[in-house]
Structure 1
Amino acid sequence: MDIILIIGSILSFILAIFLLFKKKNNSSSDKVLAFWLFIFTLDFLRSYMLFFKGYMFLLGFGYTLPLLYAPLLYFYIALIIDNRNGFKIRFLWHLIPFVLANIYMYFYIYLKPAEWRITFFEDTSFSSRPILFNFILFIVVLVYPAYIMLIFRLLINHVQKIKKIYSCRDQIDLYWVNYLLVSVSVLWIVSLYSKFVSGYFNSLHYSNATMTIYFFELLIIMIIGYFGFKQGMVLIGLPGTEKDVSGISKYKTSGLNSNDAKSFLPLLLKYMETNKPYLNSQLSISDLAKQLKIPSNHLSQIINEQIGKNFFEFINSYRVEEVKLQISGNKEKRFTLLAIAFDSGFNSKSSFNSIFKKQTGLTPKEYMKGQAA
């Protein structure tokens, strides 16, 4: 099992170095991720020296690390989504539990000799330990599910925002973060299970059962390292990102009244039919607004109020109709469905299939078969 700790420490260190010095245009999110990986490096090394080299003075130093790992992961995802102002001071509030826990641990655990710590971690029971120590244990157990929910909420808000601005989500919807959240959830479940099985919560001894946790940590490092190196910023200085306010007051300060929006609608629809801007797979609301020579927030208001759709739905409805038109003219099947999709403005098979089925109730293949019958 020591090989997992060795590989984990080497891999996390190399990935951190690459993020800091090899990735072009590294950002605040890259620096946070690199720091996160460095902490993993130190923890893997600490565990290796503790478990396999017998350096018992290291016992207890990794106890509160989940209180640091979870907020750092949250900072990283938040900075990917919006890095316009860099690292935000308010993020530091998330580190208060980690700081307070370590202040307590410093006086109660870290200053004690190794022999005392061995006795404490191996021979004490849950009922005999201080209430504050058990409270920290409780917080450590709950921190991952709490931050998973926070990150999930960030992703939901992110998807809703990009639908108002972009016509294609494939490069910016952070789908890979779902894999990461699943991995972290599995890590939490495995960690909880292994600690119950090993009797960790009653007697805080370290056993081989807890080594399973490091395997999943290594998996998380591989996922976040690979995608983190590829990932860029996705919401830097986005135009037309007015605050979401429900109700009529949403566009109260836009400068465009409903009558003007209604009068502009025919011009928008005519432009869409004549110029087919939706064929550009990377079309954004600012691109279309420039072509129409109106502010992007005015265009957003027209689409939302007069058509009842967001920008993503509006543009892709034209793309679906374009696909249907090309399918009807492709009786001899000279072009594949994917070629037709790309010609119609889609830029990936997955988004094409999901959007087409959502709008028509049929998969593209089912629709094509129906047209051929």
Structure 2
Amino acid sequence: MDNPDYLKIIALIAVFVLLLLIFFLLTVKTKNKLSNRIFASYLILTVIDTSGFFIADNITNNHPNLEIFRWTLYLLCIPLFYLYVQSICYTDFRLKLTHLLHAIPFAILNLVLIPRIYLTSNFEKKYFFKHHYETSEMVFFQSLIEIQYLLYIIAIFILLRKYRKIYFENYTNSNTAAYKWLFQMTVIFALAHYFATFKNLLRYTDYHKLLIFANECMGIIALLLTCWFVLKALNYPELFRGIDSKLQLAKDFIPKTIISKNHETALIASQITALKKYMMDKKPYLDQSLTIQDLANQTNIPVRELSILINLHMQQHFFDFVNQYRIENAMEILRNHSKSELTVLEILYKVGFNSKSSFNTAFKKHTSITPSEYRNSSS
């Protein structure tokens, strides 16, 4: 089997699996329909790009303008992925007309190609396809892709960093699957993209064997990424819990809070004491889905003041603040010999956690040992 046939078979398998995943995303019952549709759109463009391995020659000969247009669709991929990340991070995300601005590089490139490529004769088009890597249009295209990709990757990492901070300042649910999934995808996409860039640069060298090997690797990488998407989609069909885009970090709005300097220390101290007493007496931390808005409603403290109190004055994320009480409650149960029949799994649900891994991580962070080790040392 020669290399072109080998690559075509890999690409065909990848496209088939991607189409199954697209069908799954568009038909699965979930509250995240918009996110799934955006990701499905991204995957559709990926299918169009990957299909070039086995349809490019036929389209080039019969519909050259369509093949060139297919190339330019790549400029819509990373903007769609950025919108997907936003839709996962923010529960109130909606598509707006302003999001069409992300298509500006795509529009600019196609406008540039109209007089230079689209409107030229078939002879000139054939010359372009044969020598396109030597043309100024292709240099402009590649440069536009690299600049765009770099800017969007940076923007995605900034968005994820902010999302993670706000999540820990406002929520106690330890399920950070969304952040991990998006972070992993962004890193893997970036690595795959820059490997493809390296492969394209080989076209300008004499390393033809290395270029063939890189093409094979690119096909295998595309297939592996496709399979990874499918596994993730099957394991997490209800991705994910987002945050409200109106939420801010505590440090961003503290200047708006005016407190008399003469009474500041005493007031903060009294608020902290009252908050700790409420946590001990009422045990709101037993609610697995407790948020800072929920606690603010229960304590009659404005949510911004409560956020500043916990995240800045007590120097704890809301996430860690609440988990501290959960762990102390769990330690009390583990020390109680009359409750020795309770398993660790039963205890973690009893004190407000929703997974064994998050409970073990928080417990070890608080005590430096595992729950089982703590129970054994207590007995």
Query: Normalising TM by the smaller chain, what interval?
Result: 0.7 to 0.9
Specify whether residues 9 and 112 from structure 1 end up closer, same or farther in structure 2 by C-alpha distance, changes over 3 A only: farther
SS at match of 2:40: helix
The answer (yes or no) to whether the contact 1:183–1:216 under 8 Å persists in 2 is no
Equivalent position of 2:221 in the other structure: 216
Q: Does 1:63 align with 2:68?
A: no
Structure 2: tracts of 5 or more residues without a match:
1-6
Equivalent position of 1:263 in the other structure: 270
* Offset at residue 312 of structure 1 (A): 0.9
- Write out per-residue CA displacement over residues 212-250 of structure 1, whole angstroms, 9 at most, x where no aligned residue: 434433444444464385324512477xx3465448515
Specify whether residues 287 and 244 from structure 1 end up closer, same or farther in structure 2 by C-alpha distance, changes over 3 A only: closer
Relative to the length of structure 2, the TM-score reads 0.79
Distance 2:49 2:345 in 1: 47
Equivalent position of 1:93 in the other structure: 101
Higher mean C-alpha deviation, range 333-342 or range 135-144: 333-342
* Offset at residue 331 of structure 1 (A): 9.8
2:180 to 153, 161, 175: 175
* Offset at residue 162 of structure 1 (A): 1.1
Equivalent position of 1:4 in the other structure: 10
- Write out per-residue CA displacement over residues 331-350 of structure 1, whole angstroms, 9 at most, x where no aligned residue: 99644444433332221233
Higher mean C-alpha deviation, range 8-17 or range 275-284: 8-17
2:311 to 304, 308, 312: 304
Equivalent position of 1:107 in the other structure: 115
2:190 to 160, 185, 192: 185
SS at match of 2:173: coil
Equivalent position of 2:146 in the other structure: 141
Asked which structure has the greater RCO (Cα within 8 Å, sep 6+), the reply is 2
Higher mean C-alpha deviation, range 153-162 or range 276-285: 276-285
1:239-318 correspondence runs (5 A): 241-242=247-248, 244-246=250-252, 248-252=254-258, 258=264, 260-318=267-325
SS at match of 1:164: helix
* Offset at residue 103 of structure 1 (A): 1.8
The answer (yes or no) to whether the contact 2:288–2:354 under 8 Å persists in 1 is yes
SS at match of 1:63: helix
Specify whether residues 92 and 370 from structure 1 end up closer, same or farther in structure 2 by C-alpha distance, changes over 3 A only: farther
The answer (yes or no) to whether the contact 2:285–2:323 under 8 Å persists in 1 is yes
Equivalent position of 1:76 in the other structure: 84
* Offset at residue 315 of structure 1 (A): 0.2
Distance 2:312 2:183 in 1: 32
Distance 2:375 2:149 in 1: 46
- Write out per-residue CA displacement over residues 48-79 of structure 1, whole angstroms, 9 at most, x where no aligned residue: 21258874635544433432111110011112
Specify whether residues 191 and 283 from structure 1 end up closer, same or farther in structure 2 by C-alpha distance, changes over 3 A only: same
Distance 1:366 1:105 in 2: 68
The answer (yes or no) to whether the contact 1:84–1:236 under 8 Å persists in 2 is yes
The answer (yes or no) to whether the contact 1:165–1:286 under 8 Å persists in 2 is yes
Distance 1:156 1:63 in 2: 32
The answer (yes or no) to whether the contact 1:81–1:234 under 8 Å persists in 2 is yes
Equivalent position of 2:4 in the other structure: none
Equivalent position of 2:41 in the other structure: 35
Specify whether residues 194 and 133 from structure 1 end up closer, same or farther in structure 2 by C-alpha distance, changes over 3 A only: closer
SS at match of 1:234: coil
2:333 to 300, 322, 326: 326
The answer (yes or no) to whether the contact 1:262–1:306 under 8 Å persists in 2 is no
Distance 2:37 2:133 in 1: 40
Specify whether residues 12 and 109 from structure 1 end up closer, same or farther in structure 2 by C-alpha distance, changes over 3 A only: farther
SS at match of 2:179: coil
Structure 1: tracts of 5 or more residues without a match:
none
* Offset at residue 144 of structure 1 (A): 3.2
Letter in 2 for 1:188: H
The answer (yes or no) to whether the contact 2:326–2:352 under 8 Å persists in 1 is yes
Distance 2:142 2:245 in 1: 41
Relative to the length of structure 1, the TM-score reads 0.80
The answer (yes or no) to whether the contact 1:285–1:300 under 8 Å persists in 2 is yes
Specify whether residues 222 and 72 from structure 1 end up closer, same or farther in structure 2 by C-alpha distance, changes over 3 A only: farther
Specify whether residues 281 and 274 from structure 1 end up closer, same or farther in structure 2 by C-alpha distance, changes over 3 A only: same
The answer (yes or no) to whether the contact 1:82–1:236 under 8 Å persists in 2 is yes
The answer (yes or no) to whether the contact 2:49–2:71 under 8 Å persists in 1 is no
* Offset at residue 260 of structure 1 (A): 4.7
* Offset at residue 368 of structure 1 (A): 5.1
SS at match of 1:87: coil
- Write out per-residue CA displacement over residues 272-323 of structure 1, whole angstroms, 9 at most, x where no aligned residue: 1122221222211222233334433333233235422231121011122223
Letter in 2 for 1:195: N
Specify whether residues 53 and 65 from structure 1 end up closer, same or farther in structure 2 by C-alpha distance, changes over 3 A only: closer
Task: Tell me which protein shows more helix as a share of its residues.
Answer: 2
Distance 1:231 1:332 in 2: 36
1:114-133 correspondence runs (5 A): 116-123=124-131, 126=134, 129-130=135-136, 133=138
Specify whether residues 22 and 193 from structure 1 end up closer, same or farther in structure 2 by C-alpha distance, changes over 3 A only: same
Specify whether residues 306 and 11 from structure 1 end up closer, same or farther in structure 2 by C-alpha distance, changes over 3 A only: same
